Amino acid sequence: MISASIALLGALIYGAADFFGGLAARRLRSIVVTATAALSGLVILFALVPFFGARWNLADVAWGALSGVFGVIAIALLYACLAIGPMSILSPVTAVTSAIAPMIWGLTIGGESLTVIGYVGLGVALVAVVLVGFIPGQGAVRPSARGLLMAIGSGLAIGAFLIALDQTSDDSGLVPMIANRSTNAIITTLIVLVMIVAAVRRGAGAAAALRVGAVELGATPTGHADLEHASAKASAPPSSGPTGWWLAIVCGVLDVIANVLLLAALRLGDLSIVAALTALYPAGTIVLAALALRERIAPVQWAGLALALGAGVLLALA
């Protein structure tokens, strides 16, 4: 199934976007990275309209905007639960929930049906999501009920993002993504502006609202996060500068490419399959980190990567 291949490719690109978002968040505040990525992605989307088309109607704009709201909610809950920890448990909980919620929707309300191979592929994909998203070295700490609820809430918000996009019409072109990214950009930019005003009023200067004093979580506008680098300790946090801004822009460009692939996969195939494969986005992050930063891939993550490839093959045959 071509939609499975497109969804898996999109997941890998999501992971690459998260990688650059995580690096940018070492120099700029996470919300600043998210706002910059959203704005840069919006510019790319308008540039792509002549190639992919855009048919404007109220329903598609509304669904796209709603998906943008869900993205912001996902980011907020994700940051909150990861701040509580432990990431090694809450990260996979978020990822699995983000896959299961759309799967249930597609197979019940959406009326989708799969072959036996398809159901096996979904099961393998869920196991792969847990293994790939696991962050070694976090310790066996029991998560609090509050942390678990926020992790589940973040996963449900990401799932709702996928479900909302799946409701858009096939001939709407890039309209849903434009509405999504516009909503996301407006919300995050307003938050950044409020932060700047607050910083100026207390005499800290506008730059204080943009800089980061320690390693923060990086995220993309769809609510994903670069969890591998969230817990990394930098010897000296870099100052905000052109590099941080460019990293955020690259994050936004890659995220848009992944979103366009996601939209194409949803229009060509089943929501349940696309959701399961999209949740494998951490694979792109850890592979790129291994290649670019020479970071070690843990054995459990190698197993997850192998299962992810197997799930992709099974779901492509479903």
Per residue in 206-237, pLDDT tens? Answer: 777 787 654 455 555 555 665 544 444 444 45
Tokens of 207: 């730059």
Residue 300 scores a pLDDT above 90:
no
pLDDT-derived band at 164, boundaries 50, 70, 90: very high
| Vertex 80: Cα angle to 308 and 102 (nearest 5) | 40
> What is the rounded distance in angstroms from the CA atom of residue 72 to the CA atom of residue 220?
10
Burial class for 214, CB neighbours closer than 10 Å (0-12, 13-18, 19+): exposed
pLDDT, tens digit (0-9, with 9 covering 90-100), for 38-79: 999 999 999 999 998 999 999 999 999 999 999 888 888 887
- Of residues 234 and 34, the one with the higher pLDDT is 34
What per-residue confidence (pLDDT) applies to 298?
A: 82
Residue 1: CB atoms within 10 Å: 16
What per-residue confidence (pLDDT) applies to 236?
A: 42
> What is the rounded distance in angstroms from the CA atom of residue 240 to the CA atom of residue 296?
27
Q: How many domains does the chain have?
A: 1
* Rounded average pLDDT over 143-165: 89
What per-residue confidence (pLDDT) applies to 232?
A: 47
The pTM of this model reads: 0.86
Helix (H, G, I), strand (E, B) or coil at 217: coil
Tokens of 301: 């993550």
Comparing 59-73, 87-101, 265-279, the range with the smallest average pLDDT is 87-101
Q: What percent of the chain has pLDDT over 90?
A: 41
DSSP string computed for 25-60:
TTTB-HHHHHHHHHHHHHHHHHHHHHHH-B---HHH
Domain hosting 93: range is 2-317
* Rounded average pLDDT over 232-251: 66
Tokens of 310: 């197997």
* Rounded average pLDDT over 130-145: 71
Residue 95 scores a pLDDT above 90:
no
For residues 226, 232, 237, 242, the Cα torsion angle rounded to the nearest 10 degrees is -30
